[in-house]
Structure 1
Amino acid sequence: MIKLLIVEDELITRRGLMRHIPWKKIGVDMVETAESADEAFGICARWQPDIVLSDIKMRGMDGIEMCRQLRSLLPDCQIIFVSSYSYKEYLKAAIELGAIQYVEKPVVPEELIGAVEKGIERIEQIRAQKDLQESYTESLDFLKKEVLFSLLSTPGDVDKLECQLRKSGLWTGTDTRMRIGIVKLAGTVSEGREFLNTYREALHELMESAHFYCSADFHDKRTLILLITEARERLERDSGLIRSLCALAEESKGEFRHFLALGRMVGEPQQLYASYESACQSASSLSYKGFSSCAFSEEVAQDRHFELDREREEAFVNALSRRDKEEAGRILKDIYDDLTDQKAALNSSVKNMYFLLYNHVLRLEKELLSTGKEQKENNRFWDNAQTLQELHTFLAARAMEAIEEREKEGSGGNAVIFQVIEVMKQKYPDKNLCIKDLADAVYLTPSYLSGLFKRRTGTTINQYLTNLRIEQAKLLLRDNSLKLYHVADRVGYEDAAYFARIFKNQTGMTPSEYRENKSR
């Protein structure tokens, strides 16, 4: 059962929230209301709600102070703030209190529903964790062993683990050492098995005689656990085996792009958890190192409070106002470089910095995410971002997009389209050329560029690129000295058979038929 308390001193707003939000449908079983902090304290002591939806600016005690005091009474209660004000102090206080979301008035129902659903999900996770903790109350060490055994799919005590490791050939006990690795993917993988199989094959090729175990499933849909056991010299940081593992991460691309964090080397089964803990610590450096990299146990992100310099914030706002893309981009790059130089962890203070800058971009766009779909997409991004680079790239793209939008209001966006077409004309032979590359070239997001291109040209980017490649292929086919696979390669197709199918779809003739027809 989920119980929610609305704390709002305006009667109209309270009634509106009760009437227009489908509480039962989204999973809230009971809802009560309070018009002041004093009344809310009484209800919380008696009723103990799971979620508190509170206004910030109220008569008497404000919502921030009320929720700060509620934390001691209901530590697991999830908080959602609603307010007509978006002051920096309010945002900072909301983050410090661990609020689910800060919803601005007038409230968009879809946005509030998304925040409540997120709160319900957190409550269910907390309840599941409590159930697990109650199941293992014998000792902290026992709990850690259970977590570790679950991680390695080898339940049992230390002696049993050692026996299983011996039987599997992963541990002989004779100068054998072990390392835990944490593999983090750049995004969630819908076809996780495909990545897992590909990664395992790569490990087999790299390790040759080394023994390893790779978890059979994804933790949180983007994390794998790797156990490597070998002789001491083969697990040293500068060994060929470890260098090969790091190279595998550094060379990863596309949907297989990942980050590898390696824990310290240990010699006994009961020390595996220590290796896992140190791997978790090194995984924190993902925030500033980024994907396609690796980290060792001594590399740890600085998990401290970071605050946006007021002068930089004002300079960024001024650059947006002047539509100065170069200056706005430089400021964002300087902020990003400073954070990476300081090895900043991606904590709430860092996300808050970027969120404040993002709000300035939204004001330039003259919108505040009024559609529920766009709000959910952006909330998902902020929740799932794992690196400073992701935040920087997202914000820079949105800032450039906003400036471009304002600049092209009078020209219909034709300048951007012409620029994209020029890039395609120059790079069409590149087999890896994609919409993201084109969007990066004009500082827009791929989705926005795709829509703009279709509106202005009446065709998609992919279709335009295909047409361009086929027209170039027609010119090359006039040269009888070129083989068909040479022509395919020169216009950006790796597979000559696939090129032939595309060519026929576009022209009604195979490349050979076209060449023969032109030679008559």
Structure 2
Amino acid sequence: MDESWMNSISPFVRAVRIMKSSSLTGEWMDHDHVFTYIEQGEAVFFLSGVKYEAREGDILLMHPFMSHIIKSTSTVPLIQYIFHFDLYYDEERSLLKYTNATKRMRKKVVDREMKLDSIVPISHLQLADRIDLKKRFLLLHKEFLDKRPGSSLIMKSICLELLHIFLKNQADRKDDEGKMTKGWAFIERAINYIHECFSDPQLNNVSISEHVGVSTNHLSHLFKKQLGISIHKYVTHIRIEQAKKRIVDGKLNLTEIADEVGFSSIHLFSRSFKSAVGIMPSKFAAMQTALINENR
């Protein structure tokens, strides 16, 4: 690829986190670049309908507005080192609090932020590069949390170094890596609809398949065969993720949150939340409050 344009980039790091999960994880779509390093475990990444099998030591780099589903496939928890960034600093975009892409954002795609949309989004690292990457990422994570004077400049430089590690390992990729998922057009239409209508407690397999324009059995078969999950499980996953965001915001009580994300009762919400997250929503809320107080 032509790399001359890279001389002008000035990355802005928006978010840095270490994520541990055992099933589904991640947003459906983000408005910025998402750099993901697999520290532990294995997972299947569906990126714009193309399936990639990732394992410990792999990097996935998603460009803005790339649809993605991430599903752990290992017996041990999936641990990901993740950071979000823009290729170029923009004062208005720097104020964005969240990373998930709204409909309004999708209509305002910035051309210069799409420079990496033609790359193969996976790199397999050699051991030396894995060690180097982990050192740099953990420093990036610390700078992001500390927010001391000059952190933005340090994070910019580390972002460039991590991008270099990703790009230099592209030469070792397999040319035939990644195949389009069969039936992806139907799956994508269904997922977009779920994200638009998750707050409707009447949302179910029938209404979703009617919107997509295929039979309920066929859509259910596609989800199970291609993604390894049921439609119902995916809907519940989205509702729980939306609930977690609202709990962190702290503006609504749990009953209001349950209603807003599409659960028919607080009891169903609590049971579903504990099944997915491992703890009751009340305990999750208490943990978030303690974390906020600790960082003050």
TM-score with structure 1 setting the length: 0.21
Structure richer in strand, relative to its length: 2
TM-score with structure 2 setting the length: 0.36
User: Which structure's CA Rg is the greater one?
Assistant: 1
Structure richer in helix, relative to its length: 1
Structure ranking higher on relative contact order (CA contacts 8 Å, 6+ apart): 2
